[in-house]
A and B are shown apart, each in its own frame.
Chain A
Amino acid sequence: EAQVTQNPRYLITVTGKKLTVTCSQNMNHEYMSWYRQDPGLGLRQIYYSMNVEVTDKGDVPEGYKVSRKEKRNFPLILESPSPNQTSLYFCASSPHPDSYEQYFGPGTRLTVT
């Protein structure tokens, strides 16, 4: 089954404790991205990757890091989480940036206390 998986789905952590949210797709897609969704603000893109070893900043990259060492994986790293990073995070992938077929992961709800 074609899918984008994220782990964990739910996470409660404390300020400053490094964490990684994993994202994996099994469709051999070149393009992957991370979004955060906040009430009243909609979805905002954090980082995206056009291919292996090619990443770029979205609208709200501050406080986040990403890497794309393999085509299927695109982890999101919070080196020192803060409460303002409490949000719902989505990973997405598509064959290329303009593709109609954009697949979203199930989401990761992160709470930073």
Chain B
Amino acid sequence: ELKVEQNPLFLSMQEGKNYTIYCNYSTTSDRLYWYRQDPGKSLESLFVLLSNGAVKQEGRLMASLDTKARLSTLHITAAVHDLSATYFCADRDYGGSQGNLIFGKGTKLSVKP
């Protein structure tokens, strides 16, 4: 069974602190996706990591991919309240057809002053 596991599922941080969200996946995929969802809203694409060693950064968020370890990380630097949201990683199932996207359960991030 294909799995995408995130941890932690809940994260309460203080502003200014750093933290990392981990995403383990079970496929042999060489790409990984990160999304953000604000409360009551739809999902927004953050990053797509296309190869081993890929690193992408936008603002205070940096994502990386290690395909050998089947691990992606989303690092938060000097958190601010605006980053409060739920973050999902997703992997694509290439075993059957190309289209099946498998999401982790999400990490709900709360940044407190």
List chain A positions with a Cβ less than 8 A from chain B.
31, 33, 35, 40-45, 48-50, 56, 58-59, 90, 92, 97-107
Contact = CB atoms under 8 A, between A and B. Distances in A.
Contacts of B43: 43, 90, 92, 104
B106 A48 contact: no
Interface residues of B, number: 24
Residue of B50, B92, B103 most packed against chain A (CB within 10 A): B103
6 contacts: A42-B104, A45-B99, A45-B103, A90-B43, A100-B47, A104-B42
A100 B103 contact: no
Contacts of A50: 97-99
Interface of B: 31, 33, 41-45, 47-48, 50, 88, 90, 92, 96-106
Nearest to A44: B103
Residue of B47, B96, B101 most packed against chain A (CB within 10 A): B101
Given A48-B97, A56-B97, A59-B100, 9 more contacts: A43-B88, A45-B100, A45-B102, A45-B103, A100-B45, A101-B45, A102-B33, A102-B45, A105-B42
Contacts of B33: 102
Give the interface SS of chain B, mostly helix, strand, loop or mixed: strand
A26 to B, nearest CB: 16
Given A101-B45, A105-B42, A106-B42, A45 B101 contact: yes
A89 B92 CA distance: 19
Contacts of A90: 42-43
A97 B105 contact: no
A108 B25 CA distance: 28
Contacts of B105: 40-42
Contacts of B98: 50, 97-98
Contact of A59 (B31, B102, B104): B102
Contacts of B44: 104
A31 B45 contact: no
A43 B99 contact: no
Nearest to B86: A42
Contacts of B99: 31, 33, 45, 48-50, 56, 58, 97
